[in-house]
Amino acid sequence: MIVRTRRFHPAAFTLVELLVVIFVIAVLIAITLPALRGARVSSQRLQSLSNLRQCAVTFETYVGASGAYPFGTGALVCPTPGWCFGLQFEAWAIERHWNVFVQDIAPWREHYRVWLSPGADPERFEALWREDDPVGISNGAIPSYRYSTTFIASPRVWTSGYEPAASDIRAISPSEVLFPSNKVLLSDEETTYEQGDRASLSRRPVLFADSSAALRSDNDAAPPVQNPLSSRHPKRFQDTPDGVHGRDFSVR
C-alpha cells in the first residue's frame, strides 16, 4: 500500500501583515530618531563647553600677562609663519575679533578648531593657510564664540543716568568684575548643532569670567540695555546692565 504524505509550507505574508510590519518599523524609527538627534545635540553641547574651557585657559594666560582683558581696534595677524595681514575694526567689533589679540598665546593654526562651535565650517580658517580667501581675511576668520563688549568699556557706560564719553572705551582689569561667576565672558553664538529657532536657546554654552563654563537658558539672562556709545541694538551678554559690575545671571 502506498501512503502519501502532504508537505506543509509556511504561509507567506499577507498584504495586511506586511503593512503592519512596515507600520511598526516606521513607528520605531519615529521614536528612535528624536532620541538619536537629542543625543547628538547633547554631545555637541558638551563639546562646545569643552571648547570654552580651553578658551578660558587662553584668556587666563592673556590676562595674567597683560593685566587686562583683550582690548583694541586692530592688529597685524599672522595665521601662519611668513603670512600676515593687517586687520582694523571699530571698538565694539572686538566681540567678533578677539582672537587677533591672543595669537601669540594661541596660534591660529593650532587653536582655530577650539574657536569654532561643533558643526561650524572650519574652511573659513583653513583657507588662510592657503592664502586664497580674501573673504576670510576681511572678516578675520571670525570665531563662533562672542566676546562680551562689557569687557572693553567702563561699567558706567551701561549705568542708568550716566553720560559716557569716548574715553570710557578702555581695557578692563579682572578686579573690576564684581561677580565673575555670573558675568558672561564668551557665549556660543553660532550653535550650528541646534534645531529650530536658535534666537532663544533653552541651553546655550557660555563661559563666565571665573573661567567656569555651563549651559544656561537665554530666558534666564538679564535683559540687555542700550549702549549709548553705540547705535546697534542691545545684545544679550554684550550689553549687560552695569557692564562688568553687573550680572548676566542672578543665580548660579
- Average pLDDT, whole number, for the chain? 86
Helices (H) and strands (E) in the chain, counts: 5, 6
Name beta bridge partners: 169: 153
Q: Which three cell numbers stand for residue 227?
A: 549702549
Q: Is residue 92 part of a domain?
A: yes
Which residues does 247 contact at the CB level (< 8 Å), separation at least 6?
179, 182, 183, 222, 240
pLDDT of residue 33: 61
Q: Is residue 36 part of a domain?
A: no
pLDDT of residue 42: 81
| Residues of the domain holding 162 | 63-245
DSSP 131-185: T--HHHHHHT---SEEEPGGGGB-GGGGSTT----GGGB----GGG-S-TTTSEE
Amino acid at site 107: P
d(CA 75, CA 59): 17
Q: Is residue 25 part of a domain?
A: no
pLDDT of residue 28: 66
Which residues does 180 contact at the CB level (< 8 Å), separation at least 6?
174, 208, 209, 210
pLDDT of residue 135: 54
Q: Measure the N-to-C terminal CA separation of the chain; round to a whole number of Å.
A: 93
pLDDT of residue 34: 62
Q: Which three cell numbers stand for residue 68?
A: 587686562
Amino acid at site 250: S
Q: Is residue 21 part of a domain?
A: no
pLDDT of residue 36: 52
d(CA 132, CA 127): 6
Q: Which three cell numbers stand for residue 108?
A: 591660529
Number of domains in the chain: 1
Q: Where are the beta strands (DSSP E) in the chain?
A: 74-80, 83-88, 145-147, 184-188, 204-208, 213-216
Contact status, residue 183 vs residue 248, Cβ threshold 8 Å: yes
pLDDT means over runs of 10, the chain (252 residues): 54 68 70 62 90 97 97 88 85 94 93 94 85 62 95 95 92 97 96 62 89 94 95 94 96 60
pLDDT of residue 29: 66
Question: CA nearest 238: which of 59, 55, 94?
Answer: 94
pLDDT of residue 32: 64
